[in-house]
Amino acid sequence: MSNLIRSIRDRYACLSKARRATIWITLCSFLQRGLSFITVPIFTRLLTTSEYGSFSVYTSWQSVAAYVVTLGVTYGGFNNGMMRYKDDREGYTTSVMGLVLAMGAFWLLLGTVFSEQASVLTGMPLVLVALMFCETVSKAIYEIWTSRMRFDFEYKKLVAVSVLQTVLVPAVGVAFVVMASDKVLARVLGFVVVESVFGILLAGAMLKKSRRIFCAKYWKYTLLFNIPLLPHYLSQVLLSSADRIIIGDMCSPADAGIYSIAYSAGMVMMLLVSSLNATVNPWLYRKMDAKEYDRVNKIGVAILVMLAAAILIMDGFAPTIVAILAPGEYSDAMYLVPVVAASVFFIYLYLFCSNIEFFYERTSVAMVASVIAAVLNVVLNLIFIPRFGYAAAGYVTLACYVVLGVTHFLFAQRVAIERAGRPILNGRFIGLLSVGMLIASIAFSAIYPYPIARYLVTLAIVVVGVWKRKVIIEKAKEVLS
**Could you report the per-residue pLDDT of 205-234, keeping only the tens digit for each?**
999 988 888 888 999 988 888 888 788 788
How many angstroms from the chain centroid is the CA of residue 386?
27
Q: Looking at residues 265-289, what average pLDDT do you find?
A: 78
Sequence-distant (6+) residues with CB within 8 A of 25 are: 150, 155, 158, 159
pLDDT digits (tens, 9 = 90+) for 364-412: 776 788 888 889 999 999 999 999 999 999 999 999 999 999 998 999 8
Distances (CA, A) of 14 to 6, 20, 156, 282: 13, 10, 17, 20
Q: How confident is the model at residue 478 (pLDDT cuts 50, 70, 90)?
A: low
pLDDT at 480: 46
Sequence-distant (6+) residues with CB within 8 A of 400 are: 239, 373, 374, 376, 377, 380
pLDDT at 140: 92
pLDDT digits (tens, 9 = 90+) for 8-67: 676 766 766 666 776 777 777 777 777 888 888 999 899 999 999 999 999 999 998 988
pTM of the model: 0.83
* Cβ burial 143-161 (10 Å sphere, 16+ → b, else e): bbbbbbbbbebebeebbeb
Q: 3-class DSSP state for residue 41?
A: helix
pLDDT digits (tens, 9 = 90+) for 426-463: 888 899 989 988 998 888 888 888 878 777 877 877 77
pLDDT at residue 475 tops 60: no
pLDDT at 195: 94
Main-chain dihedrals φ then ψ at residue 149, nearest 5 degrees? -65, -40
In whole angstroms, what is the distance from residue 226 CA to residue 237 CA? 16
In whole angstroms, what is the distance from residue 180 CA to residue 193 CA? 15
pLDDT at 381: 93
In whole angstroms, what is the distance from residue 398 CA to residue 394 CA? 6
Reported in sequence order, the residue ranges of 2-46 that DSSP labels E, i.e. its strands, are none
Q: What percent of the chain has pLDDT over 90?
A: 30
Main-chain dihedrals φ then ψ at residue 290, nearest 5 degrees? -85, 0
Q: Looking at residues 159-177, what average pLDDT do you find?
A: 91
Q: Which sign, positive or negative, has the C-alpha torsion 34, 37, 38, 43?
A: positive
Query: pLDDT: is 481 or 166 the higher one?
Result: 166
In whole angstroms, what is the distance from residue 396 CA to residue 403 CA? 11
Q: How confident is the model at residue 473 (pLDDT cuts 50, 70, 90)?
A: low
Q: How confident is the model at residue 476 (pLDDT cuts 50, 70, 90)?
A: low
What residue type is assigned to position 208 of the chain? K
Nearest to 275 by CA among 119, 476, 4, 6: 476
In whole angstroms, what is the distance from residue 407 CA to residue 237 CA? 18
The number of CA neighbours under 13 Å toward the Cβ of 353 is 28
Nearest to 284 by CA among 299, 301, 268: 299
pLDDT digits (tens, 9 = 90+) for 79-138: 778 878 888 888 999 999 999 999 999 998 888 888 888 888 888 999 999 999 999 999
Q: What percent of the chain has pLDDT over 70?
A: 90
Nearest to 202 by CA among 152, 147, 128, 153: 147
In whole angstroms, what is the distance from residue 247 CA to residue 263 CA? 13
In whole angstroms, what is the distance from residue 302 CA to residue 473 CA? 11
Average pLDDT, the chain: 85
CA angle 20, 22, 27 (to 5 degrees): 95
Sequence-distant (6+) residues with CB within 8 A of 361 are: none
Dihedral (Cα; 370, 429, 477, 271), 10-degree rounding: 40
CA angle 58, 60, 64 (to 5 degrees): 115
Nearest to 141 by CA among 155, 168, 118, 161: 161
How many angstroms from the chain centroid is the CA of residue 320?
23
